[in-house]
Amino acid sequence: MANITAYAYIKGIESLPRKTSIVASLVRERSVADALVILDNTPRRAAKYVKKAIESAKANLLAKGRIDAKTVVIERIVVTSGTRIRRYVPASRGRALPFERISSNIFVEVSGIEKAKVKEEAEKPAKEDK
């Protein structure tokens, strides 16, 4: 029984990295089941994106092999700054004031314990032809 890890990397989230990292810190180093319940009851827009990333990482882990779904734990969750898009907003007297739309990237790594293999029955005696 070994620990198996999987990850999900979601790019271009329409939320500031500072606001997203606050939500990510709520679920850091928790079990996935607990994290999903916490995110369901978190009234922040970034919670939807963090939940999506965690569910994706969990699905990637369960697709790898025989993993016990109850033992899946969030090992790492990192929020980084994504692309910055420069835009302008009109102002008085014909001016244009610049602002940036900053996106964020979410990296989630989960791990789980592999299920114990069922011992195969002892070698059956070969059937004899009559």
Among the CATH numbers 1.10.3720.10, 3.30.70.520, 3.40.50.720, 3.90.470.10, which is that of 3-113? Answer: 3.90.470.10
- Per-residue pLDDT of 27-62, as tens digits, reads 999 999 999 999 999 999 999 999 999 999 999 999
* Of residues 43, 25, 20, the one with CA closest to residue 35: 25
- Per-residue pLDDT of 61-83, as tens digits, reads 999 888 888 889 999 999 999 99
**CA–CA separation, 125 and 49 (whole Å):** 56
**Model pTM?**
0.83
In the chain, what are the domain boundaries?
3-113
